[in-house]
């Protein structure tokens, strides 16, 4: 297993914010898989989904996972909501699943100005379908993680400190690997 910190969870749970907070708390570098994919395809995830479809997007995620496995060390990686399905997720690093209730996630996304957080998520356009996707994925998120971190109603900084504490207690931070 690589010595990265992989943050997974349902779309909108706060993976990117938690990664930034963890980077600030540890001094490690943080990257975001959705940002990397947008840089590769030169368009938004939403546009890519609309023009190429979900299977093409999932193929890009797998290519990115393969690159992470061979090329990235000592890095915090926040992932897209479906990234946990890549076939090598558990070998990319220490996988932390941020576990929050669907209603908490949906409420937080709806509270953002002008609905921009929901608008940029192609798989959250229909709340009923998003809820079903969440329910379908929940056991798989847990299965494809080394650690499950309660995230319901918690600030990203508190979640980041919990992750840091776990890593320190197991001597898994760089210099401790």
Q: What is the DSSP letter of 126?
A: S
What is the side-by-side order of every strand in the sheet holding 75-78? 29-32, 75-78, 5-8, 94-99, 147-150
10-residue mean pLDDT series, the chain (177 residues): 95 94 96 96 92 95 97 96 96 98 85 60 76 95 97 96 96 71
pLDDT of residue 117: 56
pTM of the model as a whole: 0.92
- What the block records as the tokens of 14 is 């706060």
- What the block records as the tokens of 31 is 């990257």
pLDDT of residue 12: 86
Comparing CA positions, the residue from 9, 49, 56, 5 lying closest to residue 31 is 5
pLDDT of residue 106: 82
Burial (0-12, 13-18, 19+ Cβ within 10 Å), 139: exposed
């Amino acid at each position: 297993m690589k010595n990265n910190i992989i943050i997974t969870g349902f779309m909108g749970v706060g993976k990117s914010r938690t990664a930034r907070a963890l980077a600030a708390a540890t001094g490690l570098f943080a990257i975001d898989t959705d940002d990397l994919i947008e840089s590769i395809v030169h368009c938004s995830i939403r546009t890519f989904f609309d023009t190429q479809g979900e299977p093409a997007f999932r193929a890009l995620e797998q290519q990115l996972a393969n690159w992470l496995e061979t090329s990235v060390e000592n890095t915090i990686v926040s992932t897209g909501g479906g990234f946990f399905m890549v076939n090598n997720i558990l070998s990319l690093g220490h996988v932390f699943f941020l576990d929050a209730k669907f209603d908490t996630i949906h409420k937080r996304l709806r509270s953002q100005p002008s609905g921009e957080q929901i608008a940029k998520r192609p798989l959250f356009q229909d709340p009923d379908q998003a809820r079903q996707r969440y329910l379908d994925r929940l056991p798989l998120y847990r299965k494809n993680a080394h650690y499950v971190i309660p995230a319901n109603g918690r600030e990203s900084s508190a979640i980041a400190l919990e992750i840091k504490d776990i890593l320190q207690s197991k001597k898994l931070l760089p210099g401790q690997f």
